[in-house]
Amino acid sequence: MEQALNNIIYNYILDLHKKKVSPYERAKVIKLYLDENNFTLSDLRCRIRVKQCILEDWMLWDIPYAEYLEYKKKELSDDYIFQFLKKRSNPNYVKDQAIDIYLRKIIKLFTIYKLGPPHSSKTVELIDEAISSFICIKKIIKKSDKNE
């Protein structure tokens, strides 16, 4: 009986990339299959001949049901949820969120300064240094985005 169930799940996984299946459901079925067989994603990839990156994308949906329901209550599309989950899986996500907060504050400060009187040469020098740093960071971010 267990082998029959295992075969059903395996056949279902093989068919996942062909059918329009709920991404959440697909991840849960794959997770069940991996756990039942003590497989890794690489083991499964070899068995069903699906690219590793596709399996990893599918497994982004392996989230708690309550979290999935929250997204659905907000009427978010699966594509939007997927982009959020993919972004969240990025190790730089939390760091990027913190940087975003500081960048918004800096932008506000610059907006105030451009309305004010002329500034000292030291202030102008520091602004040039900040701009140079931002340009370097932007180049690094763009380069890493192209590599993903």
CATH number for 2-88: choose from 1.10.10, 1.50.40, 1.10.260, 2.60.40: 1.10.260
* Residues 5 and 38: beta-carbon distance below 8 Å: no
Helix axes 52-59, 41-48, angle to 10 degrees: 120
Going from N- to C-terminal start, the domains of the chain cover: 2-88, 93-147
**Average pLDDT of the chain, as a whole number:** 79
Chain mean position to CA 57: 9
pLDDT recorded at residue 16: 63
Mean pLDDT for 11-21 is 67
What digits encode the pLDDT tens for the residues 52-104? 888 888 888 899 999 999 988 988 888 888 888 888 887 766 667 677 777 88
Tell me the C-alpha distance between 18 and 38, whole Å: 25
pLDDT recorded at residue 107: 80
What digits encode the pLDDT tens for the residues 124-134? 788 888 888 88
Work out the pLDDT band at 147, boundaries 50, 70, 90.
Answer: low
pLDDT recorded at residue 94: 60
* Residues 24 and 46: beta-carbon distance below 8 Å: no
Does position 148 have pLDDT exceeding 60, yes or no? no
pLDDT recorded at residue 29: 85
Structure tokens at 129: 């240094």
Beta-carbon-side half-sphere exposure of residue 6 (alpha carbons within 13 Å): 9
Does position 146 have pLDDT exceeding 70, yes or no? no
